[in-house]
A and B are shown apart, each in its own frame.
Chain A
Amino acid sequence: MASQEGQQHPLSIYFWIWGLLFVVSFFSYMVDYLHLQGNLRWTLILIFMFVKAGFIVAIFMHMKWERLALKLAILLPPIAILVFIGLMAIEGDYTFLTRIEFFGESAMVPESPHH
């Protein structure tokens, strides 16, 4: 059995990932600190988020070394969440437009610099 001895890996890989997580977290904090706006801000937030999440799941949670059957069983179902996000984004836009339609533009308080 592959995992009879458990997940034993050299300590150096944990130190590397640990350090990288600090660096990437610092970058994502800088996104806010430097007041980046618009698409650049959102793209960077998502990139740093997925890099951090990937490191945590792959290395700290040892998913990298698990068998494909376990990887697929755990990592495929969350795809359903993407569908849910899409549906609710459409629904949110619809609700927003309905509110504007019924309450008029006056429902909108003067726009803040970012939405």
Chain B
Amino acid sequence: MSEAVLNPGLKGVASDFAGEKQAFHVPWGKAMMWIFLLSDTFIFSCFLISYMKVRISTTDPWPLPSEVFALSFGGDPIPLILIAIMTFVLITSSGTMAMAVNMGYRKDRTKTFWLMVATAALGAMFVGMQAFEWTKLIVDEGVRPWGNPMGAAQFGSSFFMITGFHGMHVSAGVIYLLVVAFRVRSGFYEKRGGNYEIVEIAGLYWHFVDLVWVFIFAFFYLW
């Protein structure tokens, strides 16, 4: 790592990438997490693009997400209400995660721990609601990957593929956050020089999961 002052802007890009030296002036774990998230962006994009393609090309009407995902609490069904609640749960968890990252850098281990546990709990709540949604769709509505009573057969496969892959990411994130949270509490990172970048790196993953949901919500549920 050179001691020279780093240039800003485009000149900085040229000098960062030039020569046999470190290109990204961030901890290596953070650079790797960003590159992993970039690859994940491409995977989710492929799912959403294939969904767009089957939705454009089908000659059957596409089931209306607004009605399919409506839920009734005794009265008239409220459109998309469960999905809206899930969205709010995920945004709340993103906020607690951002706080956890901040507290991590302040080396406040107790607050970091509890904020990460809260984030993981909200994530688990999200997965729970998704399980409820899947059960309702499979058992009550008869949606299958190969067909459904409401319209275009591709609805089921797109839905299960996209939300399933996202739900898997949330589940993995819950485990990842809990592992890091308990290590923060046990003082594991104190033995490694008291460096809490790992909280920010875990946070990057978690915010990415929220980010993907923004796109799924827009394209699958609202479109």
Residues of A whose CB lies within 8 Å of any CB of B are 1-3, 5-9, 11, 14-15, 17-18, 21-22, 25, 28-29, 31-33, 35, 41-42, 45-46, 48-49, 52-53, 56-57, 59-62, 66-70, 72-74, 77-78, 81, 84-85, 88-89, 91-93, 95-96, 99-100, 103, 107-109, 111-112, 114-115
Contact = CB atoms under 8 A, between A and B. Distances in A.
Interface string B66-86: 100000000000011000100
Interface in B101-152: 101-102, 105-106, 151
B48 to A, nearest CB: 9
Interface residues of B, number: 70
Interface of B: 1, 6, 8-10, 12-13, 16-17, 23-27, 31, 34-35, 37-38, 41-42, 45-46, 49-50, 52-62, 64, 66, 79-80, 84, 87-88, 91, 94-95, 97-99, 101-102, 105-106, 151, 196-197, 200, 203-204, 207-208, 210-211, 214-215, 217-218, 221-223
B52 A92 contact: yes
7 contacts: A18-B95, A59-B98, A66-B26, A91-B57, A92-B52, A107-B59, A112-B62
A68 B211 contact: no
Contacts of B26: 3, 66-67, 70
Contact of B218 (A7, A49, A74, A93): A49
B60 A22 contact: no
